[in-house]
Amino acid sequence: MNNVYKLQAHLLKTGLHNDPSSIHRLLLLCVACAPHSLSYARSLFAHIPSPDTLAFNTIIRAHSHSSPLHAFSLFALMRRRFVPPDHYTFPLVLKAGSCLQVGFELHSLIMKLGFHSDIYVMNGLINFYGSLGYVEFARQIFDEMTVNDLVSWSSMISCLNNNGFCYEALGLFKQMQIAGNFKADEVTMVSVISAVSSLGALELGRWIESFVRRNGLKLTVQLGTALIDMYSRCGSVDDFIRVFEEMPDRNVLTWTALINGLAVHGRGREALRMFDEMKESGLQPDDIIIRAVLVACSHGGLVADGRQVFDSIKNEYNVEPTLEHYGCMVDLLGRSGLLNEAFEFVEKMPIRPNIVVWRTLLGASVNHKNVDLAEKVREKIYELDASHDGDYVLLSNAYGGVGKWVEKAEVRTSMREKRISKKPGCSFLNVDGVIHEFVSGDNSLPESDEIKDFLVSIIGSLRVEGYLPCTTSVLHDIEEEEKEHSLGYHSEKLAIAFALVNFKGRKTIRIMKNLRICHDCHCFMKHISRKFNREIIIRDRNRFHHFTNGSCSCQDFW
Query: Which residues lie near Zn ion (CB under 5 A)?
Result: 490, 518, 521, 545, 552, 554
Q: How far apart are CA 22 and CA 289, in angstroms?
A: 46
Kindly state the smallest distance separating residue 551's Cβ from Zn ion, in Å.
Answer: 9
Phi and psi at residue 520, in whole multiples of 5°?
-65, -50
Nearer to Zn ion, 234 or 521 (CB): 521
Q: Are 106 and 76 in contact (CB under 8 A)?
A: no
Q: Are 466 and 523 in contact (CB under 8 A)?
A: no
Of the CA atoms within 13 Å of residue 335, those in its CB half-sphere come to: 22
Nearer to Zn ion, 61 or 490 (CB): 490
Nearer to Zn ion, 30 or 538 (CB): 538
Q: Are 42 and 12 in contact (CB under 8 A)?
A: no
Kindly state the smallest distance separating residue 467's Cβ from Zn ion, in Å.
Answer: 13
Q: Which of 207, 236, 237, 242 is nearest to 224 (CA)?
A: 242
Q: How far apart are CA 464 and CA 107, in angstroms?
A: 69
Q: How far apart are CA 101 and CA 135, in angstroms?
A: 16
Kindly state the smallest distance separating residue 445's Cβ from Zn ion, in Å.
Answer: 18
Nearer to Zn ion, 205 or 469 (CB): 469
Q: How far apart are CA 240 and CA 235, in angstroms?
A: 9
What is the secondary structure of 506-548 as a DSSP string? -SEEEEEESSPPPHHHHHHHHHHHHHTT-EEEEE-SS-EEEEE
Nearer to Zn ion, 157 or 426 (CB): 426
Kindly state the smallest distance separating residue 485's Cβ from Zn ion, in Å.
Answer: 13
Nearer to Zn ion, 22 or 473 (CB): 473
Kindly state the smallest distance separating residue 29's Cβ from Zn ion, in Å.
Answer: 58
Kindly state the smallest distance separating residue 397's Cβ from Zn ion, in Å.
Answer: 12
Nearer to Zn ion, 412 or 545 (CB): 545
Q: Which of 241, 161, 239, 229 is nearest to 200 (CA)?
A: 229
Nearer to Zn ion, 168 or 520 (CB): 520
Kindly state the smallest distance separating residue 87's Cβ from Zn ion, in Å.
Answer: 55
Nearer to Zn ion, 41 or 518 (CB): 518
Identify the helix (H) or strand (E) that includes residue 407: helix 405-417
Amino acid at 396: S
Kindly state the smallest distance separating residue 532's Cβ from Zn ion, in Å.
Answer: 17
Task: Tell me the Cα Rg of the chain.
Answer: 29
For residue 11, CA distances in Å to 6, 15, 46 come to 9, 6, 16
CA 23, 24, 29, 30 torsion: positive or negative? Answer: positive
Nearer to Zn ion, 70 or 545 (CB): 545
Q: Supply the DSSP symbol for 248.
A: S
Phi and psi at residue 470, in whole multiples of 5°?
-90, 105
What lies within 8 Å, CB to CB, of 278 at 6+ separation is 252, 255, 285, 289
Kindly state the smallest distance separating residue 522's Cβ from Zn ion, in Å.
Answer: 5
Kindly state the smallest distance separating residue 1's Cβ from Zn ion, in Å.
Answer: 55
